[in-house]
């Protein structure tokens, strides 16, 4: 498991996003640095995308027959949007947002878009890594 592709990248992204969130909460960085929230959502989107890609393609729990860019994108986007929408719903239900009611739809859309961008970047990273591995194997044969 520790040597599977994307495992360590996923762990590192999760730790960085978690540490940034904790530091931002303690030192009020979300309110004092305008785009800090977008940075954390981007990294979180990349981490969640990597997690879903690792689970589906590399963990051994599933056995996908074909690995192409479309499948990578579908797994990445659906997994990340599920977690992102769940998080935004949690914030709304439990009043965890500090944004004014008029700004809430805008803030939520920015959060979802930056999470999606992080997911797409992680998806392309994972796909290119997998594609390069396949090319090396083909060249050795």
Is the pLDDT at 116 greater than 90? The verdict is yes
Q: Are 4 and 56 in contact (CB under 8 A)?
A: no
Is the pLDDT at 114 greater than 90? The verdict is yes
85 vs 104: CA distance, rounded Å: 14
43 vs 59: CA distance, rounded Å: 21
Q: Which pLDDT value is given to residue 1?
A: 63
Range among 25-29, 88-92, 130-134 with highest mean pLDDT value = 25-29
88 vs 85: CA distance, rounded Å: 5
Determine the Cα angle at 18 with ends 9 and 10, to 5°.
Answer: 15
pTM assigned to the model: 0.90
Instruction: Between 97 and 1, name the one with better pLDDT.
Output: 97
In the chain, domain spans: 7-140
Q: What is the mean pLDDT of residues 5-27?
A: 95
Confidence of residue 46 (pLDDT cuts 50, 70, 90): very high
Is the pLDDT at 2 greater than 80? The verdict is no
């Amino acid at each position: 498991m520790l040597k599977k592709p994307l495992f360590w990248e996923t762990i590192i992204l999760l730790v960085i996003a978690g540490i940034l969130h904790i530091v931002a909460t303690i030192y009020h960085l979300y309110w004092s640095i305008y785009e800090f929230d977008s940075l954390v959502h981007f990294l979180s989107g990349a981490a969640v995308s990597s997690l879903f890609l690792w689970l589906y393609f590399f963990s051994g729990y599933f056995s996908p027959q074909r690995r192409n860019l479309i499948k990578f994108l579908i797994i990445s986007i659906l997994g990340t949007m599920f977690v992102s929408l769940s998080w935004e719903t949690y914030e709304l239900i439990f009043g965890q947002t500090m944004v004014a009611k008029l700004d809430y739809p805008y803030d939520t859309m920015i959060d979802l878009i930056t999470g999606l961008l992080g997911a797409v970047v992680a998806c392309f990273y994972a796909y290119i890594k997998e594609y390069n591995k396949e090319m090396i194997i083909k060249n050795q044969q």
